[in-house]
């Protein structure tokens, strides 16, 4: 247990350090968190007594039959089986003109949305996942991250009408730990770094 505690504390330490350097070197952070999570992941089998399996990795390219046939999407067997369970998905965070609070969109390719000009005549691919923050984080805006991002959450497949009238088909519910709130200093630093690189 002590080992786990030490590891998890250093993970937290890494996270805090990483956060301060986030604005300056996203790649460095990615490396740090990859390594730290990697170290953490190795200790899971020892820590968890029950037979809980790690979340299944699901590729956006495997969501439905590809290429799309002449009509609509045909959901793949793999996706159907993964409904309701914890999955890991890797994709790009959609850059939105106005960030939607409490959620972000994940796609297999980077997309910029010009919502004012285009509305729903958009460049979103069919495999677009609406990633939801925890219910207590509904008023948070997720910092747009460039490059690939991996998220883990509970997968939900099915038709749902969003607040803005859009229809979503694939949703991922994140745990609260998936999002780390930046403190005021970090936000200021982050915004400051937007003006020029150090």
Partner 1 sequence: MQFPALSPLSALALCALAFSAHAAPSVTRLTPPSELFASGQAAPVIARFLPGQRFDLQATLRPDDAGKSISSARFAIDGKAVNGNVALKVCEAACLKGVPANATLASVRAVSVDKPGVHQLTVTATQSDGQTVTATGNFEIVPLVPGGQKIKNIIILLGDGMGAAQRTAARIVAGGYAQGKSIAPLAMDTFPVTGMVKTASLNSVVTDSAPGMTAYVSGNKNNNNEEGVFPDDSTDPFDNPRIEYLSEYLHRTQGKALGLVTTADVFDATPAGNAVHTSSRGAGTGIVDQFLDDRHLTGLTVLMGGGRKWFMPSTTPGSARGDRSDYAFSATDAHTADIVKGWGASAGALDKDRDLLGDFQRAGFQYASDKSSMDAIDGDKTERLLGLFAHSNMNVALDKIDGRRNKARGITGRVVDDYGFPDQPMLDEMTAKALRVLDRQKKGFVLMVEGASIDKQAHAMDTERWMLDTLEFDRAIALAQAYAAQHKDTLVIVTADHECAGVALIGGSKVSDTRLQTLVREGGGTAMRDAVVGIYEQAGFPKYRMAADGYPDTVDIDNRLLVGYGANSDRMEDFRTNERPLQDGQQPFVKKEPLSAYPAGPMARDLEGKYMVTGQVPGDSAAHTATDIPLSAFGPGAYSFTGVIDNTDVFFKLAQAAVRGVVLPAGLVGLARK
Report the site for partner 1 in 39-78 (rule: CB under 8 A): 59-61, 64, 66-75
Both structure tokens of 128: 């677009």
Determine if 118 is a binding residue for partner 1 (CB under 8 A): yes
Binding mask 85-114 for partner 1 (x = CB under 8 A): -----xxxx-xxxxx-x------xxx-x-x
* Closest distance to partner 1 from the beta carbon of 78 (Å): 14
Q: Does 125 bind partner 1 (CB under 8 A)?
A: yes
CB of 161 to partner 1, least distance (A): 6
Query: Distance of alpha carbon 120 from its chain centroid, rounded?
Result: 22
Helix H or strand E encompassing 64: none
Measured between alpha carbons, how far is 129 from 187 in angstroms, rounded to an integer? 27
Sequence-distant (6+) residues with CB within 8 A of 112 are 94, 95, 123
Does the footprint of partner 1 cover residue 135 (CB under 8 A)?
no
Is residue 14 a contact point for partner 1 (CB under 8 A)? no
Using the rule CB under 8 A, is 1 a contact of partner 1? no
User: Is residue 19 close enough to count as binding partner 1 by CB under 8 A?
Assistant: yes
Instruction: Select from 123, 136, 185, 192 the one that contacts partner 1 (CB under 8 A).
Output: 123
Chain positions 155 to 174 lying near partner 1, rule: CB under 8 A, are 157, 159, 161, 165-167, 169, 174
Closest approach, Cβ 172 to partner 1, in A, equals: 12
Q: What is the H or E stretch that residue 76 is in?
A: none
DSSP lists the bridge partners of residue 171 as: 130, 156
21 touching partner 1, by CB under 8 A: no
Pick one of 8, 20, 30, 173: the residue that binds partner 1 (CB under 8 A): 30
Cβ neighbors of 104 (< 8 A, separation 6 or more) are 93, 94, 96, 131, 142, 144
Angstrom distance (rounded) from CA 50 to CA 100: 37
Sign of CA dihedral 61, 65, 69, 74: negative
């Amino acid at each position: 247990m002590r080992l786990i505690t030490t590891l998890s504390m250093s993970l937290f330490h890494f996270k805090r350090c990483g956060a301060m350097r986030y604005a300056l070197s996203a790649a460095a952070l990615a490396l740090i968190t990859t390594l730290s999570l990697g170290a953490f992941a190795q200790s899971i089998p020892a820590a968890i007594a029950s037979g809980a399996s790690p979340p299944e990795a699901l590729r956006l390219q495997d969501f439905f039959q590809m290429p799309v046939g002449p009509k609509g999407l045909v959901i793949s067997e793999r996706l159907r089986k993964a409904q309701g369970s914890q999955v890991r998905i890797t994709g790009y965070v959609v850059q939105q003109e106005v960030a939607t609070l409490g959620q972000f969109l994940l796609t297999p390719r980077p997309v910029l949305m010009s919502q004012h000009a285009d509305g729903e005549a958009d460049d979103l691919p069919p495999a677009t996942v609406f990633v939801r923050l925890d219910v207590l984080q509904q008023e948070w805006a997720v910092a747009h991250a460039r490059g690939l991002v991996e998220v883990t959450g509970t997968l939900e497949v099915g038709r749902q009408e969003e607040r803005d009238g859009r229809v979503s088909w694939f949703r991922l519910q994140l745990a609260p730990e998936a999002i780390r709130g930046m403190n005021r200093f970090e936000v200021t630093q982050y915004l400051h770094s937007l003006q020029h690189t150090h």
